[in-house]
Amino acid sequence: MHKDKHGNIIGVGEDTAVSILSDIFKDGSEIIPQYPLRKLLTDDYIDSLAESYLKHKVDILIFSPGGRKIAIRVQGKDHEGVMKSARDTVQKKLMEWNGCVVVDLDWQECPYLFKEQKDENSYLEVMNALESSGLHIT
């Protein structure tokens, strides 16, 4: 875990995920780490949420050339707690209701990614997560 040049906390696996996704999405997609959740929501949702939710950032957001928004969440072991898990569920629904496809890269399902290994195994983990979310990348 470290901070980027903007002071955002970058969790384990996030840098490797960005690198892998950059290799996968070579179709002109824009890949943005630490994208503000607030920018994905309509005013109706923004007005109904507590400020604490509005401060959240999506680990990685992909804007595809066709307009699809893909939110990638790199979910470490710390996301197993009751409170964080509940917030994650609300966040996922908010993003889906606002037109995003949400892909979770979970530490249990992506052990190589969370070891920061960019190799065939971690590529497969990311591809499997994309496909599990209904995205079929060729």
Domain ranges in the chain are: 7-132
CATH topology of domain 7-132: Trna Endonuclease; Chain: A, domain 1 (3.40.1350)
- Sheet (strand 100-106) strand order: 30-36, 57-63, 69-75, 100-106
The model's pLDDT over 26-38, given as tens digits with 9 standing for 90+, comes to 989 999 999 999 9
Average per-residue pLDDT in the chain? 88
Residue 61 has pLDDT above 60, yes or no: yes
Q: What is the pTM of this model?
A: 0.88
